[in-house]
Amino acid sequence: MHRFGPGAVMNYRHAYHAGNFADVLKHVVLAQVIEHLKRKPAPFRVIDTHAGLGVYDLGGPEAGKTGEWQDGIGRIWQSDPPGRLADILEPYIGVISRLNAQGSLRLYPGSPLIAHALMRSNDVLIANELHPADRATLEETLGGAGNAKVLGLDAWVAVKSLLPPKERRGLILVDPPFEEPDELGRIIAGLANAGRRFATGVYMVWYPIKDLPPIMAFHARLAGLGLEKVVAVDLVVDRPSATDRLNGCGIVIVNPPFGLLPHLMDALPWLTARLARSADAHFRLQSLGAETLPTA
């Protein structure tokens, strides 16, 4: 077990999981959120609280050991999505294609690389990663880009100290490894606190789905925060059960940019069909806020 900083347990290595179905959902949504933020000329800031390495070698020993990417990006890459869906997926697929310009899929981009590739030169990326070795790799990956800064804070400390951003527009991506007890409770508390500091920010928080009852309880607690605009996008690829297996994942989106949800509703049926591991696969997009949000 490794501890860096007060109390943080850090055994999780994303290299084993990069490009899996959970990354596909998270990164498709991330790319879409950024594309929608770009619809207004005013610059924005992306704060990636758990940034990871930035780029992953799908031919490396960690990815090879689990093979998870093969049931994730491996099923999406070069899969020729129909019509309008190809346009919706293009920002995400485009970043991967440019990273693998030689043609075959070898490298997979992490969230800070996807965000940075899609942002404009006057938008700002803050990529925060607590693990020192991962942070060093991340610095290299971002290559000293003028509008990107790498920090090494505890994620929730980063959220507290970096909000509100000076642009007063932005996305905060929270993607914890779920190694700490009651991570869902920390998310609830963190969102309540962040909402007070930067109420108009867009927040994306990723969570794992193993069994459904804890997720239903989490959704109920989120609804209890009394936020105006909040949705949960859940993608379940296999029958939820009490085992420790990752059967699905979800993303809470607070203040989804206008126009985002209809795009997600277009993409989710196809993504679910591609990523399904069994006939129990399904998706759900539900509002957990006071406002009913348009999905079509």
Q: Which residues are catalytic?
A: 175
Nearer to ligand SAM, 24 or 293 (CB): 24
Q: How far apart are CA 236 and CA 212, in angstroms?
A: 10
Q: Does 155 bind ligand SAM (CB under 6 A)?
A: yes
**Closest separation in Å from C-beta 111 to ligand SAM:** 3
Please count the residues of this chain forming the interface with ligand SAM, following the rule CB under 6 A.
20
For residue 44 the two structure tokens come to: 């924005």
Return the axis-axis angle of helices 83-99 and 21-37, rounded to nearest 10°.
Answer: 100
Which positions from 30 through 69 interact with ligand SAM, judged by CB under 6 A?
50-52
- Measured distance CA(182)–CA(196) in Å, rounded: 22
Interface positions, 106-125, toward ligand SAM (CB under 6 A): 110-111
Shortest separation between residue 166's beta carbon and ligand SAM, angstroms: 22
Residue number, 158 or 293, with CB nearest to ligand SAM:
158
Torsion angles phi and psi, residue 148, rounded to 5? -130, 135
Would you call the peptide bond into 112 cis, given omega within 30 degrees of 0 as the criterion?
no
252 belongs to the binding site for ligand SAM (CB under 6 A): no
Q: Please count the other Cβ atoms lying within 10 Å of the Cβ belonging to residue 199.
A: 13
Nearer Cβ to ligand SAM (131/263): 131
What is the rounded distance in angstroms from the CA atom of residue 169 to the CA atom of residue 167? Answer: 5
Determine if 154 is a binding residue for ligand SAM (CB under 6 A).
yes
d(CA 101, CA 20): 21
Residue 153 Cβ vs ligand SAM, minimum distance, rounded to whole Å: 7
Residue 10 in contact with ligand SAM, rule: CB under 6 A: yes
Cβ contact 33:202 at 8 Å: yes
> In the set 72, 74, 170, 177, which binds ligand SAM (CB under 6 A)?
177
What residues have CB less than 8 Å from 141, skipping those under 6 apart?
A: 53, 54, 55, 110, 112, 113
Cβ of residue 132: shortest distance to ligand SAM, in angstroms?
9
Q: With beta carbons less than 8 A apart as the criterion, state whether 36 and 257 touch.
A: yes
User: Which is nearer to ligand SAM, 62 or 154 (by Cβ)?
Assistant: 154
Please give the residue ranges that form the binding site for ligand SAM (CB under 6 A).
8, 10, 12, 14, 23, 26, 50-52, 110-111, 128-131, 134, 154-155, 175, 177
